[in-house]
Structure 1
Amino acid sequence: MKKQLLFSFLALFGAITFSAHAQVGNTCDNPIIINALPFQASGNTADYGDDVDLVQGTLCGAVPSNTNYLAGNEVFYSYTATENVPVSFVMTPGSPTSTNSGIFVYEGCANVGVSCVAGLANSNANVRTVTASLLAGHTYIIAIASGPSTQTILYNLIIQKELCSPKPSGLAADNITTTSASLAWFTNLGATSSEIAIQLAGSIIPQGPGVAATNQLFEATNLTPATEYQFWVRDECETGSGIFTPWAGPYLFNTLICDATAACNYVFRMTDSANNGWNGARMQVRQNGIVVATIGSTYNLGSGPG
């Protein structure tokens, strides 16, 4: 009986161990496969393992260079290039506490912890952007990880081909109504033709062509009231070429909940038991999930009402 129980325990332990290591993205030899570009993914390295504790290697952009930014949890992606092309990798830490993190691009698993094709890591929570010239038929490993003082991080990853640059900037939305908005941007190429993609907020980067736009302005119509949207835009490298910059965005905006003539006014009375205001605190007022007011900025003294 004891032997049978021991065998059952060992079998169960083996199954649990196998299951943990079989999770896609946990290890370099079982990465999340990227089939095409552009690509976008968000995640938490806590959902993956800490199988690698090697120092990241040379040419990895680590600051300080001797800090081990693979000491925390890591997630692995893999992309096999279909052409010789420069590619940008943008990793945005997902919270102010997602510090001491890095993104590392390796040519194959054999180079993990040895040498990077591109990489960037440091102690802050700023966006990490690196570019590498990829070769057709070569497989590249993208590792997102953190240093020893930050075990896990939230992250957003965007990978795009850099067929020409720079991409548009200064995205903005104006003249917003319940069903329309004027969307604008700056071209950094002197381009006269662009493509725009309007999506529900939170959607991933466009996976196909957008809608043609000219002169850095697009009038979006037939939108839904009280809805959060985002838009992306890219410029055509040369008019008529059909080749575009990477997508710029997303820029978030929302349609109005109702017309101004149908809006109602409310009074919020703020109090504080410590008699010293809200000490910099703020409260957002939302309707249908949309922020319609933020209060508290003027309430700095007294017990209220503020």
Structure 2
Amino acid sequence: MKKNITLILFIALFSSASAQILTRNENWPNASWTVSGVYTPAALVFNPTVDNKFKYDAALAIPLGGAATIFIESPVFSLKPAFDGGEKAFRMDVFLSFQTLAANVLFFEYWNADSGTWVLPPDGTAPAATQGSYTNCTNTLNDISLDFSTFSTNQLLNFRYRFGINDAGGQIAGFCMNSPVLNSFSCMPPTNLTVTNIGTSNATLDWTSSGTNFEIEYGLQGFTLGTGMFQSTNTHPAGIAGLNAGATYDFYVRDNCSNSQAVKSAWAGPQSFTTVSLGLIEQTLKGFKLYPNPTKGIISMESEKALNEVKIFNLAGQELVNVKPNKLNTSIDLSSLSSGFYFLKVSTDEDSGTYKILKE
């Protein structure tokens, strides 16, 4: 019901969506719909049971600006085929226009067959705003979606929904809406989580997904979801910062398929990584050369002073190699190491240097 902040609005096409198992075009006029409430009949300019639109014009109400309540309700239909096929949410395209002078006058609700009540989702109402032109039904697209992944069999089999106007008086000028079209879809979690560019306090997170909106949660290894650091992003790779040096972290990511709070994938993860220890910050040694970098195996070193010790560490700060060449030039074979970044630390009698190297 809201432009850009409706129950659930998709700014882009829904992500990670499979073939649509449930496709439902309400095809107004549709006699299986019902209209109820207390209102001036003349103000209901278009009735979706007999017209191809739903239009209400408060200027035709008697008394002018008087109170009105109208509900237009779908017939019962089943969400279970979509649910059984792995599609646990639906998207509804609704072209509408309105002018409201108070919030919550327009709303969307769905039927909870277990409790026998209509349910108003958190974002199921429209703000005090103007969208399009209700007088000539110049309607613009709003996309509503609903996650039914936790519905019972009874709720799935006996699903219906409705749109409503609840005007206490003088709160709406008018409303016009075309016949809605509903499609089910799946919302799959991202895959192939990776971490690169790991530093002492930062890292770059990435994953595979066709989505466009994501939520990241990260924290020290073993943290409980809901207690970590939270970050939203509409792009990936995504950088995070403010980490502790030499600490191991987990990160999770999920697809926000509705660009709102109601249709989200399961969390993917955890993917673990360890930040660089403070002792492995890069610093140069005067008169020292290192090549080739990146390397596929052999890495060579030249120094103006004899190299007393050469160490190689992984990004977690673990020592992997320790040699004592005691000469100006030396080489080390890294072919046994996995591809990735490492730190090389060289020491002379007078000084030391630390270098980041890449094994391809």
**Band of TM-score, shorter chain:** 0.3 to 0.5
Of structures 1 and 2, the larger Rg is shown by 2
Would you tell me which structure has more strand in proportion to its own residues? 2
